[in-house]
Structure 1
Amino acid sequence: MAVLIIILIAILVLDQFINRNLIAKFNIEKSDLGTKYVNKLHKYGEKILYWTSFIVMTIVINEFLHLGILIFVGMTAVFAFRTIMKWIYQKESKTYLLSAITCVLSILGLVTYGVTDYFNFI
């Protein structure tokens, strides 16, 4: 459980650091950051993925801790969907890069947790 918390905190810190640098580098405006959904498919698709992953996370943490890797799968699915939708419909604002970074960090967290769990490192 400690490994899971450490990986999630590391993802959060790295995500904030990288996203702030990307916002400065690509001059992403604050008004673009506030635009959450690009259309109804994005809105409802993301809500369905979010709530599904939230329910799976809750069940995994409470009942099936040996399936902890599913926590990262849900996060990755949400951010991958967000990245694809923003990339297709809002390429010019470059906000999809922020979601893509979070998706990549989630995948790295998934791999890290999977390796540490499989080899019982911690």
Structure 2
Amino acid sequence: MKDLKKYAIIPATPEQLYLALTTEITARLWTGDVVSIDASVNGEFSLWDGAITGRFLELVPSSKIVQEWYFGETDKPSIVTLKLHEHKKGTSLEVRQTNIPDEDYENIAEGWEDPYISYLIDFYTDED
């Protein structure tokens, strides 16, 4: 099992980014795919038509989201912690994911960059 840490600057306020990560309609807009979100403690979620599934463990509005991601038959759950910090260019998103199965690590690491983070940046980038 491996752990991962990533940082990104998203051109949105922490409030906007929190809503994008916890509101079904907004998540559908930035992912461009099928999404299901029950943003409550123990509520389940699914992104990209089931490519990412899990449940919410902790929700601190505009600040922190803790999720358990499902990986089949693993002994320990993979825990994702998303921290949102104000930044002069929007929001600094801190991603920490623990207990990633070795065989899934490379795919998960790449997936955080593209599509997850890149889609959020594109969604909030002003294209006038």
Interval of TM-score (by shorter of Structure 1 and Structure 2): 0.3 to 0.5
TM-score by length of 2: 0.35
> Where is the helix percentage greater, Structure 1 or Structure 2?
1
TM-score by length of 1: 0.36
**Rg bigger for which structure?**
1
> Where is the strand percentage greater, Structure 1 or Structure 2?
2
